[in-house]
Amino acid sequence: MALQSIKDVVKTVKRPEKVLQFGEGGFLRAFVDWQIDIANEKAGFNGNVVIVQPLEKGMVDAMNAQNNLYTTVLRGMKDGKPTVETRCINSISRSINPYTNYDEYIALASSPDLRFIVSNTTEAGIRFDAEIGGVPVTLDQKPQQNFPAKVTAFLYKRFQAFGGDKSKGMILIPCELSDQAGLNLRINILRYAEMWQLGPDFINWFDEACDVCSCLVDRIVPGYFPLLSKEENGKTQAENLCEKLGYEDKLLDSAELFHFWVIESKKSHEDELPLVKAGLSVKWVQNMDYYHTRKVRILNGAHTSSVLAAFLAGSNYVQDIVCDTKVGSGFNEPNAAANKFMHDIIFNEIVPSIDGDQDDLKKYAEDVWTRFQNPFNPHRLIEISLNSVAKYWTRCLPSVTQSIKKNGSVPKLLGFSIASLIAFYNGTEIKTDEKGAKYLESKRDDGVYPNKDTLPVLEFFAALNKETKDAKVIAKRVLSNTDFWKEDLTKYAGLEEAVAGHLADIQSKGMKAALADIVK
């Protein structure tokens, strides 16, 4: 017997439309809309979201076909056990394609209930284009293709509709994954206001009545596709989930259990958007630098500092390193040496290198370790390895240099991680894959792998590996490459010698044995 659609089983709830959302993808639906749904239930927010499709093609037709109802499927480790939590999201009232329903979209600018704008249009979406494809970006386009131009035109329409009433300003929270998305969006709005000559009254209204916030978002959202894998009964995870739920849902959205949202603003807007009151992991702050550093150095840094060694030692997934539980996966047995290496590099070297509340940093690190154990989100190490040199510079090198400055010595495991990075780029031939992307063909014990990075990085290592196998020469050349590190790392006392020694061990013993020795 066929299941009924979610729209025939669940009733929508009519509320004031307080949030305009540019973007209908899995991340916003499992992060922002999920939180607003909880705020409606637990904190009396009493507000719905209107989704605007940022591109000409998208998912709004599918959203409207289900009355904008869908289910989040949160999965991860909780109290040491694999856990699945589902929630029907009832916080979206409608979805609009402004390319086909412009009038419906722009009418929202005149809505007295509207207060917030959220977005996720990718980092590339927050840019200034005076013209696109030779066509000028103008105020009268319906709509503009460029996202900041859309927002500028929308705000100007709102400014006109309410006669510059400062109580009708908007709070903008762009969720694009860039350090200063809010600042960049604000700058680009002002550039369009100037280009379109919108006048000082609008600019003053925007400056005084609107707040453009930067934020840090932290939740892994794989979305729908992981739910298409087959389970033991031959049905997909999605099919089995829908049978348990009692309805068909074509917009299931999977995410991890963990969530954290830091919103940077001159003032908290918790009184209007009561996320903390709803029990959510949200912080309103005036400066989010600490939280950005914490995430980059611990979460991202743990990956980049650990997975290259683990991959060369034979692991293929993060879960091969940390996870004893196998749920719908083909993970290898956990690599004990890689497990201890990753754990100790996080808690013994990265965390102590960061300035700030050590108890808070350790708690976040414990959350990260639990997240890495999530058996529902297999994360391939070869994918994490993409552009490892640039990632190491931003994510890991500050932990290395800060540790040296604090302790006067080279951190053993982080030093080994640099040697592992060098060993990972062990090829001599640059090849091209079926999509035209260049890669350095490198080797580990069970065969070759495609090492993907920018062409200058690949060319540097290919040439160096053809020239010499001497660990001392290689270490010196890599560490002194200021194009990689923006400084000559050989100036740090003991670092060159330590990296050269670790690299020689990896070359002579192989990664498995060298990794086992370094964690003894």
User: How much is the pLDDT for 392?
Assistant: 98
pLDDT above 90: percentage of residues in the chain: 92
Q: Would 6-285 and 289-518 be classified into the same CATH topology?
A: no
pLDDT of 9 over the 70 cut: yes
Reply yes or no: is the peptide bond before residue 143 cis, omega within 30 of 0. yes
User: How much is the pLDDT for 433?
Assistant: 93
Query: Helix H segments across 270-313?
Result: 289-294, 301-312
User: How much is the pLDDT for 180?
Assistant: 87
C-alpha span between 60 and 95 (Å, rounded): 5
User: Distances from the Cα of 436 to the Cαs of 384, 388, 421, 433, in angstroms?
Assistant: 20, 20, 25, 5
User: How much is the pLDDT for 3?
Assistant: 95
Of 205-209, 298-302, 350-354, 434-438, the one with minimum mean pLDDT is 434-438
C-alpha span between 168 and 150 (Å, rounded): 18
79-110 as b/e: b if 16+ CB within 10 A: eeebebeeeebbbbbbbbbbbebeeebbebbe
Structure tokens at 371: 């997240």
User: How much is the pLDDT for 122?
Assistant: 76
User: How much is the pLDDT for 211?
Assistant: 98
User: How much is the pLDDT for 226?
Assistant: 85
Spans of all domains in the chain: 6-285, 289-518
Structure tokens at 440: 């350095």
pLDDT in tens, 124-162: 789 999 999 999 999 999 999 999 999 999 999 999 999
The dihedral sign for the CA sequence 370, 373, 374, 379: positive
Query: Taking the domain 289-518, which CATH number applies?
Result: 1.10.1040.10
User: Distances from the Cα of 406 to the Cαs of 357, 409, 464, in angstroms?
Assistant: 16, 8, 33
Query: Taking the domain 6-285, which CATH number applies?
Result: 3.40.50.720
Comparing CA positions, the residue from 185, 192, 226 lying closest to residue 75 is 226
Structure tokens at 306: 């650990």
User: How much is the pLDDT for 155?
Assistant: 98
Tell me how crowded residue 160 is: count the other CB atoms within 10 A of its CB: 13
User: Distances from the Cα of 365 to the Cαs of 340, 346, 486, in angstroms?
Assistant: 14, 7, 28
Mean pLDDT of 353-376: 95
User: How much is the pLDDT for 362?
Assistant: 98
User: Distances from the Cα of 194 to the Cαs of 29, 155, 202, in angstroms?
Assistant: 34, 14, 10
User: For residue 123, what pLDDT band results from cuts at 50, 70 and 90?
Assistant: low
3-state secondary structure of 52: strand
3-state secondary structure of 487: coil
pLDDT of 328 over the 60 cut: no
User: How much is the pLDDT for 330?
Assistant: 58
Q: Mean pLDDT, the chain, as a whole number?
A: 95
Mean pLDDT of 463-492: 98
pLDDT in tens, 163-183: 999 999 999 999 998 778 999
Work out the angle at residue 516's Cα, subtended by the Cα atoms of residues 515 and 520, and round it to the nearest 5 degrees: 115
Cβ(163)–Cβ(225) below 8 Å: no
pLDDT in tens, 18-30: 999 999 999 999 9
User: How much is the pLDDT for 225?
Assistant: 85
User: How much is the pLDDT for 78?
Assistant: 94
User: How much is the pLDDT for 308?
Assistant: 98
pLDDT of 325 over the 70 cut: no
pLDDT of 217 over the 80 cut: yes
pLDDT of 327 over the 60 cut: no
pLDDT in tens, 453-474: 999 999 999 999 999 999 999 9
